[in-house]
Amino acid sequence: MIENHKINQNREVAGFRYSLIAELTNENLSSGEIRKLIREKAGRTYEIPYSIKTKITAKSLKKWLSKFKSCGIQGLMPKVREDYGKSKKLTQEEQDYFIEYLSKRPYLTAKAAFLECQKQDKIKNDISPSSLSRLVLSHGMDKKSRMSETQKEVSLKYNFKYPLECVQSDFMHAFDIPDGKGKKRKAKLLTLMDDATRRILYATFTFYETAAEFEKGLKSVLVMHGRIHRIYTDNGPSFVSTETKRILSILGIPIIHSRPYRPQGKAKQERFYRTFREQFLRPLEQEKIQSLEQLNVLMRSWLECEYHRSPHSGLSGMTPLDAWLRDTRHIIAVDPSIDLEEVFLHQVTRRVYEDSTFYFASCLYEVPSSLIGKNVIIKFDPQNSNNDLKVYLDGQYICQARILDSYANSKIYRGQKKRNTKQNEVSDRKLPEQKTNINHSLNASQIELLEEKS
């Protein structure tokens, strides 16, 4: 493996070095002319194979010229370290196991595969990233080589038969548009496509490629169309969040992720995006788009008037809309006992402080004092900026949390014992109405006058 990989690199380096000194090997050149050429070559910049450097020193050029004259092209090849590709901290058995483990899982990074081997207790020691890299390269297991082997696997074309049997989802980056705040941001298209009919069940341009946007699309499909049997997505962060998995688990909808570096699994989605770019984005006068709302109106009009009504080769010439209408009898409605508004709420755990409050999203909220010291579940709608928080304890709804109003709390009677009975009796008496315009307060002199009369 070392000879197949490292020596090939060394030959490429030797060829590069020879290209620099070939002119200097001319026997008709004088010593002065050779020195002049060396200075000129040392002043240039180069793309050096397997190096981040861009300059070659005059000393190196002289050394290579001397090596070539004495040893030929072999003298220009870098020396191969005797321990290249071998780790001093790993036994041969550990190295062999790691290489075999990585070869069977080419989609993993070398570091991830190494950590998995350590978790399985197959490798005892740790090595530096550079040593791990040399070990992988020495066996010809670089990422490009591993993935090229993976792509030789057989890919089988698949189709689902009925609507909503499988819904594919993905994001597509479009172009920059104004965001309403004086800046331009990348518009991203989220789509949920029915695999069987190729109908676009949900599509929207957004600035955010987040799990909240994906969940918003899921909820829309469930409300507008019916129960989804499975979801197929890639491994993007928008599709693997803990909250998304929890919501789908409650609904009983399995989510299937495509294998990394396997675009064949999303062929239908990619084919739609190619059509979308060619038929919608290219003819669009992008400089005239001033908002997401404007872009979404144009996009949805194109979907309903053109895409859904155009014959599709993957549907034997039928249009996506006709294919959908033909099999609508197979669509199952969402169980009416399921409260989708409740299911799609996100939840976090908070501990209630001694003053009946807890923090959420940089705000202080208050709850009944009976919850002091307890861990409560806070449910909220990620799409709602008002942060209406529902408080649950042991699975039971308790109340809706409200933002703390410390000024209002300062006026609340807290049940303290009365110390001065006489003073309390005076304060309980009704004071005579004041003829002045200021009749909402009493000054100290009025209080003293009442005490004297009493």
Kindly indicate the confidence band of residue 144, based on its pLDDT and cuts at 50, 70 and 90: low
Choice between 390 and 75, residue whose per-residue pLDDT is larger: 390
pLDDT digits (tens, 9 = 90+) for 311-330: 998 888 999 999 999 999 99
What type of residue is 308? H
Q: In this structure, what token pair is assigned to residue 429?
A: 């008496």
The answer to whether residue 82 sits within a structural domain is no
The answer to whether residue 173 sits within a structural domain is yes
Contact 25, 69 (CB under 8 A): yes
131 and 257 together in one domain: no
Q: What is the pLDDT of residue 136?
A: 81
The answer to whether residue 453 sits within a structural domain is no
Distances (CA, A) of 261 to 166, 332, 388: 21, 34, 41
201 and 271 together in one domain: yes
Q: What is the pLDDT of residue 122?
A: 85
Contact 310, 318 (CB under 8 A): no
CATH of the domain at 401: 2.30.30
Q: In this structure, what token pair is assigned to residue 217?
A: 């699309």
106 and 246 together in one domain: no
Is residue 441 predicted with pLDDT exceeding 60? no
* DSSP SS3 for 146: helix
* DSSP SS3 for 179: coil
Choice between 444 and 228, residue whose per-residue pLDDT is larger: 228
354 and 322 together in one domain: no
Of 143-147, 234-238, 357-361, 389-393, give the lowest mean pLDDT range. Answer: 143-147
Q: What is the pLDDT of residue 14?
A: 84
Is residue 234 predicted with pLDDT exceeding 80? yes
User: Mean pLDDT score of the chain, rounded to an integer?
Assistant: 82
| 6 CB-near residues (< 8 Å, 6+ apart) | 80, 84, 85, 137, 138
64 and 116 together in one domain: no
Contact 113, 102 (CB under 8 A): yes
Domain boundary among 303, 330, 357: 330
Choice between 313 and 308, residue whose per-residue pLDDT is larger: 308
The answer to whether residue 420 sits within a structural domain is no
320 and 219 together in one domain: yes
Q: In this structure, what token pair is assigned to residue 224?
A: 């507008």
202 and 266 together in one domain: yes
Kindly indicate the confidence band of residue 261, based on its pLDDT and cuts at 50, 70 and 90: low
Domain boundary among 24, 48, 76: 76
Q: What is the pLDDT of residue 190?
A: 96
The answer to whether residue 436 sits within a structural domain is no
Choice between 410 and 96, residue whose per-residue pLDDT is larger: 96
267 and 303 together in one domain: yes
Mean pLDDT on 36-52: 84
21 and 125 together in one domain: no
Choice between 413 and 353, residue whose per-residue pLDDT is larger: 353
Instruction: Report the C-alpha gap between 282 and 237 in whole angstroms.
Output: 29
Q: In this structure, what token pair is assigned to residue 396?
A: 């039971």
The answer to whether residue 105 sits within a structural domain is yes
CATH of the domain at 305: 3.30.420.10
Q: In this structure, what token pair is assigned to residue 454?
A: 């009493």
Mean pLDDT on 145-156: 56
The answer to whether residue 442 sits within a structural domain is no
What's the structural domain count of the chain?
4
pLDDT digits (tens, 9 = 90+) for 395-406: 899 999 988 887
Of 241-255, 313-327, 412-426, give the lowest mean pLDDT range. Answer: 412-426
Q: What percent of the chain has pLDDT over 90?
A: 42
For residue 427, give the nearest of 406, 450, 404 by alpha carbon: 450
Mean pLDDT on 303-310: 95
Q: What is the pLDDT of residue 371?
A: 93
Distance of CA 93 to the CA centre of its chain: 37
20 and 125 together in one domain: no
Q: What is the pLDDT of residue 102?
A: 84
Choice between 411 and 433, residue whose per-residue pLDDT is larger: 411
249 and 197 together in one domain: yes
185 and 251 together in one domain: yes
pLDDT digits (tens, 9 = 90+) for 175-218: 999 988 889 999 999 999 999 999 999 999 999 999 999 999 99
Of 9-23, 328-342, 398-412, give the lowest mean pLDDT range. Answer: 398-412
The answer to whether residue 156 sits within a structural domain is no
Q: What is the residue range of 396's domain?
A: 345-409
